Amino acid sequence: MEQPNYWQRLARKRMTRRDLLAAGGVTALGGAAALIVGCGSGGNGGNGNGATRTPRTPGPAGSPTAGGTITIGRSFNVSGIDPHIDLTGLDIDSLLYSYLYGWNQIKETPMFNNLAATFEQPDPEHLEFILTLNPGFIIQPNGPGAGEEMTSHDCKASFIRRGTSITAPDKRYPKRIGKDAAAMDAALKTPDLRTLSFTLSRPFVPAIREMANATWAMVPEKVIDKYLSLSQKGFGSGPFMLEEFRGSERVVLKRHPNYVLTPRPWMDQINYIIITENSSLLAAFESGQHDVNGAFLRKDDAEELTDRGDFVVTKTPSLFYPVIHMKMKPPFDDLRVRKAIDLALDRDEFIAGLQDGEGNYNGPIQWPQFQWALPQDELRAFYKPNPEQAKQLLADAGYPEGFDAKMKLPKLTGVNIISDTASVIKDQLKRVGINLALDEVELGAFIGSVLLSGNFEMVFFPNLPYDEPDRPLSFYHSLGVTGAGNWTNYNNPELDKLINAQAEEFDFEKRKKIIFDAQRMILNEHGPQLTITGGHGYTAHWNYVHFPFEQGEEPPANVAPFGVDIWTEKS
């Protein structure tokens, strides 16, 4: 059977502007609750609030209808919508900005439905990248560069900003383009307005996936030049424009009047309403105040909605995975202590009590990454709870009475699953004499002042949903996800070699073996990151709201960017 190989499949991919304009309407994300990840696209003309809107005519019965508004519920605040820096508004960013291309998570291949028309790698070492851009992606009204067409210069400026911002996520890839802004500026070539090219210093297998990530928005150069921060502003070339931003209350988006795929997008307006109390948020959805659910759904909630018959409900494996990080200083720099903590954790209790009996064990790579995750039988055999052995290990390490520690976690009002999971961790560790004080920190401060600064003894959080194995492995690398050092001060040169090797191995089977070897090494180190079990996620929307495909389904071949083809039967 033919195995996936990015570079065999991507030798030359092309979608012309004619193909793009003719593409059947599909969002780059399935389902109603396509939060956190997605791709936007470019626009077409306009010079302010008075821009002429192309008339739109509803199609025949059953086909998309132009106009209308949908309201999406949200259970947590939008701390910012800067696509290169903020992580809580990536679903909104994906509607405001162009991206090079989308990503088919089922086939693990790019979807050339956006700004890039052609992608080529002519050299046998896969170091050279040549991207040719589609014309017609016009910057939205009201901001710098309004009415101008997106060019390779905008892409270059975005690459530099994304790759060098202090708080931007994962820099393992951009550092292979250039170690700093000056080096990236020299490496990124723009021979004409439609071409962007560069050469990596070393191969990087995840590069193709990385450029489809929601943090790789293409922001107009004039916007970058004018605004240091875009956390409360948005001027892109995607299908929607920012009308109002109140991150703790609501975010309102209006249709880009001259979008490149006109007469699409079909929707006139998309509202995000924030209600941080989960039961209130769910009640608002069930009563029809929200068209798309944003509340956390348990299995019984999903079953009740399904039984009513008014909703489309989907269930998919959750790529979010709960993790504990430990700082490599006493007592956690002692392998015996870390192993004791691992032995104190009863992962079946998490599955039964918090995941409705539907969860699976996570290794260093979470279980829904089916081809990269370690087999369930191996993980279940390894993670056998043994409190008595844990107590003996603590005694051997000099802690016969246990010890006290503080574990920090993000505070998301109304999203109880995080604090509930932390409470189970606390209860289980108490059985072996480890007494945890839980310290909830507001999400923005948690990211900036706890995680990125390494300001913790222990920390617990649900890590983001990665579908490329390099990202979760990079947390264990001595250079971390930023390329400047990890949060835990963990250093294992042999593990670094394996993580580096898998990132440069293009043969699928060889890469898989390296990734399995790395994970098994991590298991026996019992940290510095311990993964808890992962469950499923449920999404729901009213059946009068139409998404071209639902979460977990494979997108059709002619896929349009996120949000373009959402439509509602309600005017």
| Percent of the chain residues topping a pLDDT of 70 | 89
Calpha distance 511→513 (Å, rounded): 5
* Number of neighbours of residue 390 by Cβ within 10 angstroms: 26
Identify the domain containing residue 525 by its residue range. Answer: 321-531
pLDDT tens per residue, range 476-519: 999 988 777 889 999 999 999 999 999 999 999 999 999 999 99
Predicted confidence (pLDDT) at residue 335 exceeds the cutoff of 50: yes
Calpha distance 508→5 (Å, rounded): 6
Tokens at 464, concatenated: 């983001």
303, part of any domain? no
Tokens at 331, concatenated: 């007592």
305, part of any domain? no
What contacts 333, CB < 8 A, 6 or more positions away? none
Question: Pick the residue with more confidence: 408 or 44?
Answer: 408
Q: Can you give the length of the chain in residues?
A: 571
pLDDT tens per residue, range 230-240: 999 999 999 99
55, part of any domain? no
Is the domain of 546 the same as that of 504?
Answer: no
Predicted local distance difference test score (pLDDT) of residue 553: 83
pLDDT tens per residue, range 35-73: 332 222 222 222 222 222 233 344 444 689 999 999 999
DSSP state of 150: P
Is the domain of 127 the same as that of 162?
Answer: yes
199, part of any domain? yes
Is the domain of 336 the same as that of 193?
Answer: no
CA atoms within 13 A of residue 488's CA, in its CB half-sphere: 27
Is the domain of 546 the same as that of 523?
Answer: no
Is the domain of 551 the same as that of 527?
Answer: no
Is the domain of 106 the same as that of 218?
Answer: yes
Total domains in the chain come to: 2
Is the domain of 156 the same as that of 270?
Answer: yes
Task: Find where tokens 């170690």 sit.
Answer: 179
Predicted local distance difference test score (pLDDT) of residue 162: 96
Predicted confidence (pLDDT) at residue 439 exceeds the cutoff of 90: yes
Find how far residue 92's CA is from the centre of its chain: 12
* Number of neighbours of residue 306 by Cβ within 10 angstroms: 15
571, part of any domain? no
Name the band, by pLDDT with cuts 50, 70 and 90, for residue 144.
very high
Is the domain of 41 the same as that of 139?
Answer: yes
Calpha distance 171→480 (Å, rounded): 9
| Percent of the chain residues topping a pLDDT of 90 | 74
Strands (E), 330-486: 403-411, 434-442, 458-463
Residue in 522, 281, 523 with CA at minimum distance from that of residue 416: 281
For residues 323-340, average pLDDT: 97
Is the domain of 480 the same as that of 452?
Answer: yes
For residues 462-472, average pLDDT: 89
Highest mean pLDDT out of 25-39, 385-399, 408-422, 442-456: 385-399
Name the band, by pLDDT with cuts 50, 70 and 90, for residue 464.
confident
DSSP state of 55: P
Instruction: Please return the burial class of 485, using the count of CB atoms within 10 Å of its CB with bins 0-12, 13-18 and 19+.
Output: middle
C-beta separation of 85 from 236 below 8 A: no
482, part of any domain? yes
241, part of any domain? yes
Is the domain of 240 the same as that of 279?
Answer: yes
Is the domain of 429 the same as that of 474?
Answer: yes
Q: Which of 251-255, 446-450, 549-553 has the lowest mean pLDDT?
A: 549-553
Calpha distance 334→340 (Å, rounded): 10
Question: Pick the residue with more confidence: 517 or 31?
Answer: 517
Average pLDDT, the chain: 88
160, part of any domain? yes
Predicted local distance difference test score (pLDDT) of residue 62: 64
Calpha distance 171→166 (Å, rounded): 10
Is the domain of 163 the same as that of 37?
Answer: yes
For the packed helices 335-344 and 387-396, what is the interaxial angle rounded to 10 degrees? 160
pLDDT tens per residue, range 365-380: 999 999 999 999 999 9
C-beta separation of 339 from 530 below 8 A: no
Beta strands 403-411; 536-542: pairing state:
unpaired
Question: Pick the residue with more confidence: 104 or 540?
Answer: 540
Calpha distance 100→207 (Å, rounded): 13
Question: Pick the residue with more confidence: 413 or 89?
Answer: 89
Q: Residue 71's domain is classified under what CATH number? A: 3.40.190.10
Calpha distance 143→541 (Å, rounded): 33
Q: Residue 504's domain is classified under what CATH number? A: 3.10.105.10
For the chain, the C-alpha Rg in angstroms (whole number) is 24
Give the sheet arrangement for strand 189-192, strand by strand: 12-14, 116-120, 128-133, 195-199, 189-192
